[in-house]
Amino acid sequence: MVSARRLAWADWTIYITNVPTRLLTVCEGLVLGCLRWQIELLFKLWKSHGRIEVSRSRKPWRILCEVYAKLLAMLVQHWVLLVSCWRYADRSLPKAAKTVQRFALGLARAFGDAGQLCEVLGTIAGCAAQGCRMNKSRLHPRSYQLLLGVGA
């Protein structure tokens, strides 16, 4: 059983920084703290959706090759996310990553032809523009909502 005192300490979030207060307000610092978690979620996305830690082999050299291949695939996927939906703050990266994965074969085929690659990227961007949205939340604002609110 957790004591009331320990529970009260769990309500605290402490940030330590050397950024002068003239450059960073408390509100901006709290938003940056939330964004730190987004970086962790990106790595989680790479690990879970990219299945980086999974291998069917027991041979160390094959496992290493698989890890490198999967990391390269995640970099390509992230590049596609950057050029297709990064400008939309309210897009879900896991949803957008699934969209990219649905077009993976088309992307692989298009890498030798710039025109075809632009066509596939345009299709992915169109899907991201129409879908992959995060729901807004009033009770617990999403990171993009916090970022948009900092400048307001």
The domain locations on the chain are 27-132+142-150
Question: Residue 133: beta bridge partners?
Answer: 91
Q: Say what the pLDDT of residue 151 is.
A: 53
Residue 23: per-residue pLDDT: 92
Q: What is the pLDDT of residues 121-142, one digit of tens each?
A: 999 988 888 888 877 777 777 7
pLDDT at 152 (0 to 100): 52
Is residue 128 exposed (0-12), middle (13-18) or buried (19+ Cβ within 10 Å)? buried
Torsion sign, CA atoms 24, 27, 30, 35: negative
Q: How much is the pLDDT for 123?
A: 92
Please list the rounded mean pLDDT of every run of 10 residues in the chain (152 residues).
Answer: 85 84 87 81 80 86 91 88 80 85 90 91 87 76 73 52
